Amino acid sequence: MKIFPAIDLRGGKVVRLFQGDYDKMTVYGDDPISVARGFQEKGASCLHVVDLDGAKDGVLVNDSIIREIATQVGMFVEVGGGIRDMARVESYLNAGVSRVIIGTSAVTDPDFLEAAVKKYGDKIAVGVDAKDGYVAINGWKEVTDIESFSFCKKLYDMGVSTVIYTDIAKDGGLGGTNIEAYAKLKEIKGLSVTASGGISSVEEIKTLSSLVDAAILGKALYDGKLDLAEAVKAGEGAEKI
């Protein structure tokens, strides 16, 4: 299982939100490149980057920073947040981003998602953010009537190879992740699942390693509750991306 430390960007700064609430934001640094390199030095080979401005408002104020991370830091970099057309997908991939995450548009514009998957295959992932079992979109501000697990199965059936599944209620709370959800997602044979939201212990990582292919770590790293080097070691053993 691969470990993806997370860098969430807002206004060029490294931040974390509590349960997706933009009014409950903590700033952890103003040098994302330095943060990324610090993660790399601790043994991480993968990086999860989210453009929160893009996710919320569609404003690409962090574009140059993301490009700099992709070109200057030698890691597998996946990027999400505000990716709603093919031009943005192509721009990121051409800039050296390894994988692009489509979130809101997977719900609102399935034709775009299908075209992206057809053209770029496993370089496209879908972020499925769930609140009480239903898919949330537009920076988690709007909860749809789409059941999250059936949506993941639908995505797999249309050719999506990787889903990043976040239980919003767990995100940023340091109270543990939704193990039951990942056990259920494991039933979708062939779908690669990345766990996200609330992961806060090495024991949890070991449990997840039998259920998912990757895990995203955020607040637990920034608050010092989880050591990245130990997390990477605990997650080792899965096939490389």
Q: What is the pLDDT of residues 214-233, one digit of tens each?
A: 999 998 999 999 999 999 99
Kindly name the residue from 63, 129, 167, 213 that is annotated as catalytic. Answer: 129
Domain total in the chain: 1
190-209 confidence digits (pLDDT tens): 999 999 988 999 999 999 99
Domain boundaries, position 32: 2-235
Ramachandran class of 159: left when φ > 0, alpha when ψ lies in -120 to 50, beta otherwise:
left
pLDDT at residue 180 tops 70: yes
Kindly name the residue from 8, 51, 53, 63 that is annotated as catalytic. Answer: 8
Domain contains 200? yes
For residue 43, which amino acid is it? G
Residue 60 pLDDT class (50, 70, 90 cuts): confident
Domain contains 241? no
pLDDT at residue 17 tops 90: no
Which domain CATH number covers 12?
A: 3.20.20.70
Residue 167 annotated to the active site: no
Tell me, letter by letter, the H, E, C secondary structure of the chain: CEEEEEEEEECCEEEEEECCEEEEEEEEECCHHHHHHHHHHCCCCEEEEEEHHHHHHCCCCCHHHHHHHHHHCCCEEEEECCCCCHHHHHHHHHCCCCEEEECHHHHHCHHHHHHHHHHHHHHEEEEEEEECCEEEECCCCEEEEEEHHHHHHHHHHCCCCEEEEEEHHHCCCCCCCCHHHHHHHCCCCCCEEEEECCCCCHHHHHHHCCCCCEEEECHHHHCCCCCHHHHHHHHECECCC
What pLDDT shows up at residue 107?
96
| Rounded Cα–Cα distance for residues 30 and 44 (Å) | 21
Q: Could you tell me the end-to-end alpha-carbon distance of the chain, in angstroms, rounded to an integer?
A: 9
Mean pLDDT, range 61-70, rounded to an integer? 92
| Mean pLDDT for all residues in the chain | 91
Mean pLDDT, range 6-23, rounded to an integer? 83
What pLDDT shows up at residue 150?
98
Domain contains 220? yes
Domain contains 47? yes
115-154 confidence digits (pLDDT tens): 999 999 999 999 999 999 999 988 777 899 999 999 999 9
Domain contains 240? no
Residue 8 annotated to the active site: yes
Domain contains 216? yes
Mean pLDDT, range 39-48, rounded to an integer? 96
pLDDT at residue 15 tops 70: yes
Mean pLDDT, range 12-28, rounded to an integer? 80
